[in-house]
Amino acid sequence: MKMIRSVGVKVAIVAATVLSGTAARAQTTPAVANPSAAPPEASPQTSAPPSTPPPTAPVAAPPLAPLPPAPPPGPAQPMPPKAEDAPAEMTDHDRVVGRVGITMFELGTMGTSLPIAPASAAPATPNTVSTPAVGIRYWFQRDMGFDFGVGINWTSTSTTTKNATTTNSTDVPSPLGLAFHAGLPIALYHAKHYSFLVIPEASVGFTSETVKGTGTAQDQDLSAWGLQIGARAGAEVHFGFIGLPQLALEGTLGLELQYGEVHWSSGNSSWGTGQWLLQTTVGPHPWSVFTDNIAATYYF
């Protein structure tokens, strides 16, 4: 009886040992998934966040190759001129600046003649001595120049008569006229072939003459002088449109003030007159605008 009991105990111990080993292997051996079985339900517990890898030290970039030197700057390009800065077209007047022009000047209201006293013991209308003034015009800058002219007239005449025994020589009256003219032409406007001018000016003239007496008559001394100041305005037209910019015609009108005196004397007798005159430079006839107020100038 005791043997049976001990055998049973041993069997029980062996069976318990076998069962415990089987259970341990079941826990360690993964179960084979059944493809027909439903997937296991997710565990309600949340998984732990993934661990952050430790920071790594930045890797230094390899050194860059040096850049080539910048090319030297080229010459500065000129800015295109603005329309208002563009040089103006050269006019005919610009071509004669700094050049000398030859011209003839009117002596104001005296024209080309100066008064002189008549050979009369009583006051009478003066005679005249033709004294045209010829001179120069020089533009020392584009808008300003100067005029200067001189007029002279001198005549010396004598008459000789012969007969069988005698020879007679008689001096003919020989008048002398001398005039000076000065002006300051100012150009106010320029176009391609003409310029608009204003010309302040002045002229002075002198005349003298001696009339020889015959027989017992005494000589007569005749003289006169005059001063004129004024201004004229008009245009100087150049002939550049036919290739002659150095040739110009000037037409002007103006206003002038003149004072003159005439004297006569013979022995102890004498008389004299003085006259003031203010008038325009236009003559008494309509065509005087063209005959009395136009002068030609040629620039060299």
Residue 245 inside a domain? The answer is: yes
Residue 195 sits in a domain of what CATH number? 2.40.160
Lookup: tokens for 145 = 């120049």
Residue 61 inside a domain? The answer is: no
Residue 17 inside a domain? The answer is: no
Residue 102 inside a domain? The answer is: yes
Residue 32 inside a domain? The answer is: no
CA distance 248 to 58: 92
Sign of the torsion formed by the C-alpha atoms of 250, 253, 256 and 261: positive
Residue 180 inside a domain? The answer is: yes
Residue 155 inside a domain? The answer is: yes
Lookup: tokens for 196 = 């608009």
Please say whether the beta carbons of 110 and 205 come within 8 A: yes
| pLDDT string in tens for the chain (300-residue length) | 545 555 555 656 655 665 555 554 545 444 444 544 445 554 555 555 556 666 666 666 666 667 777 777 767 777 766 655 555 689 999 999 999 999 998 776 566 778 888 888 888 888 888 888 999 999 999 999 999 999 999 887 777 878 777 777 776 778 899 999 999 999 999 999 999 999 999 999 999 998 887 778 888 999 999 999 999 999 999 999 999 999 999 999 999 999 999 999 998 899 999 999 998 887 666 666 666 778 899 999
Q: What is the pTM of this model?
A: 0.66
Count CB neighbours of 207 within 10 A: 26
In this predicted structure, what is the pLDDT of residue 38? Answer: 47
Residue 135 inside a domain? The answer is: yes
Q: For the chain, what is the domain count?
A: 1
CA distance 119 to 199: 37
Length of the chain: 300
CA distance 129 to 237: 31
- Residue 117 belongs to what domain range? 96-299
Cα atoms in the Cβ-side hemisphere of radius 13 Å centred on 107: 30
